[in-house]
Copies of this chain bind each other. A is one copy, B any other.
Amino acid sequence: MKFGGTSMAGTERIRRVANIVRRQQAAGHQVAVVVSAMAGETDRLVNFCREAHALYDPAEYDVVVSSGEQVTSGLLALTLQGLGCKARSWLGWQMPMKTSDAHAKARIETVDAPAMVAAMEAGEIAVIPGFQGVTEDGRISTLGRGGSDTSAVAVAAAIDADRCDIYTDVDGVYTTDPRIVAKARKLKAVTYEEMLELASVGAKVLQTRSVGLAMKEGVRVQVLSSFIDDDATPADELPGTMIVSEEEMEQLLEDGEMERQHVTGIAHDKNEAKVILTRVPDKPGAVANIFEPLAAASINVDMIIQNVGRDKGETDVTFTVPQADLARAQALLEDKRDVIGFNRIITDSRIAKISVVGVGMKSHAGVASSMFRALSERGINIQAISTSEIKISVMIDEDETELAVRVLHTAYGLDAEG
């Protein structure tokens, strides 16, 4: 089980969490709980570090910011004890959760926790601070912001858990953003691949890295709300959204637990910006000259389109980068103007990316054409298209985001009834 910062904000909320944990134990489960710091605490600690030294040493930064989860893990263990449960905290270095030495953005390497597993088998609840680990040379490391989801999946894999329940502010994964489409439906299950596409294009429920790890390790993840009315739900019911392998999804479909759909959900993302380089020489290597400097600066380029240029031997190249990296990307490209040989840079951050996602589209050819038809019927202009096996994305004017999401949600039959 994993609880986020909102659930851990203060002793009253921690008592709620302890009750949810105790019910799972009472239902017969051996339980390990991964916790975040109290909401706002990590920001407070990060600010201290910035004030102390603008170019802070990430190893010392990790010493400071990891303390937030240390506090909540101790407090949850105490609260569980107060409810009559056996419980103890297992800090990153005690477990140990070994990570790379890339401080502040470490990767989990091994979780080998025989003492913790033995304690769990003896009926003790293990409480684990998320986000933190220990390096080979015995220093505290952290996994980067939002790393507690990844900690939870790593622990679940290490102890071969039946399930990894991630309690969040939302009660599951929806067919699309319920703030845009009132008829959005909560999904009973999605595959890892679908979740990765939905997460990376805006449905921010789980940290992307944690989903990737769950897929790799075959951990069954459930996303559910920490604000459910706990007493109204049987402890072994699954009230949230399960994130599962394609095989398990196939089984759920065969058993009639899920309805077959070509499209599982519609995601949108307003955080990209469009860049157009005009009159780039249409010759081998020209495109590489554009994207190599961006890749070297860790700027993620998403959609790429090469338009036919007005003059022979020249093309316009259009692509998207995260809005946050736009200024940096522009400066890098200006630097390379001579090498690339373009005429002008045109940028536009008032764009949106709309994606339809679903493993069902693998075996169904008509999904893309339905999308283009539905959008054109409402006069929405498609500026670019990109596709993967289970996703089709289009770039449109940002002002038309909500309209496009609603139109597609209806077009693919995702609207809830009534």
Asked if A122 CB lies within 8 Å of chain B CBs, one says: no
A118 neighbours in B (Cβ, 8 Å): none
Interface string of A45-73 (1 = CB under 8 A from B): 10011011111110111111011001101
- Residue in contact with A75 in the complex, picked from B48, B75, B79, CB distance below 8 Å: B48
Query: Do the beta carbons of A89 and B63 come within 8 Å of each other?
Result: yes
Asked if A94 CB lies within 8 Å of chain B CBs, one says: yes
Task: Give the one of A45, A56, A78 with max B CB within 10 A.
Answer: A78
**Could you tell me the distance between the alpha carbons of A52 and B82 in the complex, rounded to whole angstroms?**
7
Asked if A219 CB lies within 8 Å of chain B CBs, one says: no
**Can you show 17 pairs from A to B with CB atoms below 8 A apart?**
A11-B48, A11-B52, A14-B52, A45-B71, A48-B71, A52-B76, A52-B78, A52-B79, A53-B81, A53-B82, A60-B81, A60-B89, A61-B74, A63-B77, A64-B71, A64-B78, A67-B70
Asked if A139 CB lies within 8 Å of chain B CBs, one says: yes
Minimum CB–CB distance for A114 against chain B, Å: 13
- Kindly identify, within residues 98 to 114 of chain A, every residue whose CB is under 8 Å from any CB belonging to chain B: none
Please give me the 10 A-B residue pairs with the lowest Cβ-Cβ distance, nearest first.
A53-B82, A63-B74, A64-B74, A11-B51, A52-B78, A67-B67, A53-B78, A52-B79, A60-B74, A60-B77
Query: Do the beta carbons of A75 and B52 come within 8 Å of each other?
Result: yes
Asked if A372 CB lies within 8 Å of chain B CBs, one says: no
Give the B-binding residues of A (Cβ under 8 A).
11, 14-15, 45, 48-49, 51-57, 59-64, 66-67, 70-71, 73-79, 81-82, 88-89, 91, 93-94, 138-140
Task: Give the one of A11, A53, A55, A93 with max B CB within 10 A.
Answer: A53
Minimum CB–CB distance for A75 against chain B, Å: 5
Main secondary structure of the interface of A (DSSP, over half): helix
Shortest Cβ distance from A64 into B: residue = B74
**Could you tell me the distance between the alpha carbons of A82 and B45 in the complex, rounded to whole angstroms?**
17
A88 neighbours in B (Cβ, 8 Å): 59-60
**Could you tell me the distance between the alpha carbons of A11 and B51 in the complex, rounded to whole angstroms?**
6
**Could you tell me the distance between the alpha carbons of A79 and B54 in the complex, rounded to whole angstroms?**
9
Shortest Cβ distance from A62 into B: residue = B74
Taking A52-B79, A52-B82, A53-B79 as given, write out 15 further A-B residue pairs in contact, using a Cβ cutoff of 8 Å, ordered by the A residue number.
A11-B52, A45-B71, A48-B75, A49-B74, A52-B76, A54-B82, A60-B78, A60-B89, A62-B74, A63-B91, A64-B71, A67-B67, A67-B71, A70-B70, A94-B139
**Could you tell me the distance between the alpha carbons of A14 and B93 in the complex, rounded to whole angstroms?**
27
**Could you tell me the distance between the alpha carbons of A77 and B59 in the complex, rounded to whole angstroms?**
10
Shortest Cβ distance from A54 into B: residue = B82
With contacts A54-B82, A70-B64, A88-B59 taken as known, whether A75 is within 8 angstroms of B94 at the C-beta atoms is: no
A55 neighbours in B (Cβ, 8 Å): 82
Minimum CB–CB distance for A95 against chain B, Å: 11
Minimum CB–CB distance for A356 against chain B, Å: 46
A74 neighbours in B (Cβ, 8 Å): 49, 60-64
Minimum CB–CB distance for A13 against chain B, Å: 11
